[in-house]
Amino acid sequence: MKVKVNINAIGKNVGDLIKEKLRNRGFPECLGNMSPPIVQSIITVEDSSLFCKRSITPPENIVEDDISDLVVHLHEYRLDHTDSLVLDINGKNYIEEYKDTIGTAYVDRLIRCTTCDYEELCSRLTTFYLKTISLKESL
């Protein structure tokens, strides 16, 4: 079953991860301030790729006993089903790898932008993009 998961509910926040990656590459952290509206923190995945049945998961592999903070729109997800599921080490690793991948991609793109010759054009496009996001959120 597909489920929406808040990846910031476990481990390091994506925004903080991006700021750390920028700092490690010698760029100011403030460049990462635009990441929250751009980088997705809610992902849709198959529940079996993140969660395991409590009854067959060894206790030492359980990372999160209560998945209610992870699952977005928990009321739409079968509540009886969530009581029997836990986040195991593989699910946590999946989330952490995903965050690292999108964080690295964002930072790489940002660094490429700092050396780009199309700064003025890109700035205008970004302004229009952010206005579109703002309009969509206000609807």
Structure tokens belonging to residue 113: 């932008």
pLDDT, tens digit only, all 139 positions of the chain:
788 899 999 989 898 999 999 999 998 888 887 766 667 888 888 888 888 888 888 989 898 888 888 888 665 555 555 567 889 999 999 999 999 999 999 899 888 888 888 888 888 888 888 888 888 888 7
Q: What is the model's pLDDT at position 81?
A: 57
Distances (CA, A) of 33 to 11, 40, 78, 118: 19, 14, 36, 21
Geometric angle at alpha carbon 52, from 47 and 58, rounded to 5°: 165
Q: What is the model's pLDDT at position 95?
A: 93
3-state secondary structure of 9: helix
Q: Could you give the angle at which helices 14-24 and 89-114 cross, rounded to 10 degrees? A: 50
Domain ranges of the chain: 2-138
Q: What is the model's pLDDT at position 76?
A: 59
pTM: 0.77
